[in-house]
Amino acid sequence: MISDKMTAFVQGSSVIRAMFEEGKNMAKKYGQENVYDFSLGNPNVPAPASVNKAIKDIIDEEDSVFVHGYMSNSGYEDVRASIAASLNKRFGTGFAENNIIMTVGAAGGLNVILKTLLNPEDEVITFAPYFGEYRSYVGNYDGKLVVVSPDTDTFQPKFDEFEQKITAKTRAVIMNNPNNPTGVVYSEETLKKLAVIMEKKQKEYGTDIYLISDEPYRELVYDGVTVPYPTKYYKNTIVGYSYSKSLSLPGERIGYLVIPSEVSDYENVSAAANVATRILGFVNAPSLMQRVVGRCVDAEVNIEPYNRNRELLYNSLKEYGYECVKPQGAFYLFVKSPSEDETEFVNAAKKHHILVVPGTSFACPGYVRIAYCVAYDTIKNSLPGFKELAQEFGL
Amino acid sequence: MISDKMTAFVQGSSVIRAMFEEGKNMAKKYGQENVYDFSLGNPNVPAPASVNKAIKDIIDEEDSVFVHGYMSNSGYEDVRASIAASLNKRFGTGFAENNIIMTVGAAGGLNVILKTLLNPEDEVITFAPYFGEYRSYVGNYDGKLVVVSPDTDTFQPKFDEFEQKITAKTRAVIMNNPNNPTGVVYSEETLKKLAVIMEKKQKEYGTDIYLISDEPYRELVYDGVTVPYPTKYYKNTIVGYSYSKSLSLPGERIGYLVIPSEVSDYENVSAAANVATRILGFVNAPSLMQRVVGRCVDAEVNIEPYNRNRELLYNSLKEYGYECVKPQGAFYLFVKSPSEDETEFVNAAKKHHILVVPGTSFACPGYVRIAYCVAYDTIKNSLPGFKELAQEFGL
């Protein structure tokens, strides 16, 4: 007999994960090369050589008890200092080691910060389309996810609706920049507008509204676009980062939270996040990987394969008549489904061995997410299928 | 502003962790060799050579995208199958890959299984002295920890009190074998007695009472003692394991849950644990370390240094007049404080640069925990201090 909350989950489960498992089964059945699995954001670009070199060097050079042993729950001080210095160099921020907490991926970091901040019934706002797990994470702490509806022309935030949805119970806002599933990047102007609204509401209600910027795709940007560093626009900003996508280490579970000294109640937020790391069962981020990212803090992120994929897939789908806002970040295309109910298109695609994720999973029905972090040839070989589907659906 | 639950935590925090930080500061001040830090269970025996070899071999031999990438939330199928086969060979069990879920240490596994099982107000029984984090983990899911008082003569479970404390709301029992902080090992006879009681109560209330056996110290046993495999005595047993102590990998966060097919509602428990792994932010256990333990599943655990430490420390303290139940497992001595309030002794010990943890942290006041997973010389050099303390306290 399982808990009531989990009963609901077992029935609902994860569409993305179900697709991933389905893709593996299809690959077993038809052969890997005949399945075009665009469902899971699992980077196909290997980790940089410097990462694997770092692993081996650390094993050879650093003391085993140190490398594999416990350390402060927030992580090795030297690693945190290196990360802070790197951020300061890149973005002109003023962080120190005490502003960084190493986390078990971004997902671990989000759980830590939400445990730190949320009382039951507290509201957390996010912008559709959004990564469906936000709902689960907020639900873990009995918070209430409040969703701003999607602007399907641009997938930028709807500022008026955002302002209206902030209440006295709004404890946090989760922003994902660059965005999963749309790949859009919020500009500096957008961040400034959001900040003005949140400052206004903080004053109006006499509350603290923390902006949680979830940014595992920060370095995956194209067309010369850069992602502004959000702490510079709004004092109560906490950043969640992960090396899953930038260094292709999603399985290793390594990321960090940035809790700037300027945030309201910094001492308690920082202390609580440290404790939450321990009692939620993370205890600390994996030790060897902390040492690795400490050494690889300025590693080059190779985005060229993703960009090449983006161009091929986007241009081809546009040619076939699909509608899509061209993404400038991450590795997803969010494409308008040619069928009103995207389930129809998703199922038809499966017959062509194409796996995509329904937009409903991201609170944006009528769309599908296509993850292009796959081999170039996978995209190339899937194109005839996408073309046939376009014709089947009368595009 | 932080959540109410976390406000309480930040005020209370962790005595063990506070000691650890205090030990580090003392070491900076007085020199590492002049501090006798017995506070944290951080193994001083290095990981076996086979572990570091495995890390390097995996980096050289296995595909980077596979080693560092996402896999099923429950972990790599081949690693789980290897673990199941190893358990079957060692203990005559009948597990398969589907009975194993890889976890972020034992702490991660406990959080996963408690999230899976507990509704708010459900009761979880444990036996004092117990690892204080159990209270935090149960509290994460709004469960209620019910504690069986300690039998300070033997530190074995008090069966009558256990039976009395089981109610219709008892969802789980957490057993730690070998035990932290006492180091005692529960015998086969003890497991059978506990099973009889739980079976009786399941029938009486018409409920499922899951026994969660938390066993990171399984291989750390002395005097020819073995730890019986608990699933063989009680159908509704779930095992939580970690390689933190056996392979000296506490920082790496790698362990597993065993959910036998025989447990009540196996399909839902297993499915829910898989989902909980994901939504709690673990997503999966660290990938490289999964591959490592897959290769090192039969690695020898070197307990000789711990045994040597145990003998030296136990015999010396007994000689000085301290009282202690001789432990047969783990790497802790649980020693009766010569002062009624152990805080007095703990503070006096600090003046001798000796750091021990008050028994109150384990719900057993009047005792202190001494972790002997330290260098032999650390123990040797601390003995004059322990002797002086014994004299100061009139032993």
Report pLDDT digits (tens) over B370-390.
999 999 999 999 999 999 999
CB contact under 8 A, A248 and B64: yes
Compare CB distances from B280 to A52, A111, A248 and report the shortest one's residue: A111
- Residues whose CB is less than 8 angstroms from the CB of residue B52 and which lie 6 or more positions away in sequence, other chains included: A59, A64
Compare CB distances from A278 to B14, B47, B52 and report the shortest one's residue: B14
* pLDDT higher than 80, residue A302: yes
- Residues whose CB is less than 8 angstroms from the CB of residue A391 and which lie 6 or more positions away in sequence, other chains included: none
- Look up tokens 């005490």; give the residue: A98
Class of domain A4-48+302-392: alpha beta
Contacts of A9 in chain B (CB under 8 A): 272, 275-276, 279
Alpha helices in chain B (DSSP H): 4-12, 15-30, 49-61, 64-68, 77-91, 105-117, 133-140, 159-165, 188-205, 266-279, 287-295, 304-320, 342-351, 376-392
Residue A379 and residue A309 in contact, taking contact as beta carbons nearer than 8 Å: yes
CB contact under 8 A, A281 and B111: yes
* CB contacts < 8 A (A, B): 257
pLDDT at B12: 74
**pTM for the full model?**
0.96
Domain ranges of chain A: 4-48+302-392, 69-295
Contacts of A4 in chain B (CB under 8 A): 119
Say whether B371 sits in a helix, a strand or coil: strand
* pLDDT higher than 80, residue A22: yes
Contacts of B136 in chain A (CB under 8 A): 278-279
Compare CB distances from B251 to A44, A70, A281 and report the shortest one's residue: A70
> Is the ipTM of this structure higher than 0.90?
yes
Q: How far apart are CA A198 and CA B26, in angstroms?
A: 44
Selecting from 3.40.50.10860, 3.30.420.40, 3.40.640.10, 1.10.1040.10, what CATH number does the domain A69-295 have? 3.40.640.10
- Taking only the tens place, the pLDDT of each residue in A344-371 is 999 999 999 999 999 999 999 999 999 9
Q: How far is A338 from chain B (nearest CA, A)?
A: 31
Best to test chain B binding among A6, A72, A113, A245 (most B CBs inside 10 Å): A6
Residue A190 and residue A157 in contact, taking contact as beta carbons nearer than 8 Å: yes
Best to test chain A binding among B283, B331, B374 (most A CBs inside 10 Å): B283
Measured in whole angstroms, how far is the alpha carbon of residue B197 from the centre of its chain?
Answer: 24
pLDDT at A24: 85
Compare CB distances from B56 to A7, A56, A140 and report the shortest one's residue: A56
CB contact under 8 A, B68 and A253: no
Compare CB distances from B56 to A59, A115, A272 and report the shortest one's residue: A59
Compare CB distances from A269 to B2, B133, B137 and report the shortest one's residue: B2
Contacts of A283 in chain B (CB under 8 A): 104-105, 107-108, 250, 253
Contacts of A250 in chain B (CB under 8 A): 68-70, 283
Q: How far is B379 from chain A (nearest CA, A)?
A: 18
Contacts of A5 in chain B (CB under 8 A): 115, 119
Q: Is the peptide bond before B260 cis (omega within 30 degrees of 0)?
A: no
Number of neighbours of residue B8 by Cβ within 10 angstroms: 10
Across the range A78-83, mean pLDDT stands at: 98
Instruction: Output b/e per residue, A102-111; b: 16+ Cβ within 10 A.
Output: bbbbbbbbbb
Q: How far apart are CA A148 and CA A190, in angstroms?
A: 15
Percent of chain A with pLDDT over 90: 93
pLDDT at A13: 65
The reply to whether domains A4-48+302-392 and A69-295 share a CATH topology is no
- Residues whose CB is less than 8 angstroms from the CB of residue A93 and which lie 6 or more positions away in sequence, other chains included: A87, A229, A231, A232, A260
Q: Which of A38-42, A174-178, A301-305, B338-342 has the lowest mean pLDDT?
A: A38-42
Residue A133 and residue A156 in contact, taking contact as beta carbons nearer than 8 Å: no
pLDDT at B52: 97
Q: How far apart are CA A106 and CA A279, in angstroms?
A: 17
Q: How many residues does chain B have?
A: 395
Q: Where residue B20 falls among pLDDT bands split at 50, 70, 90?
A: confident
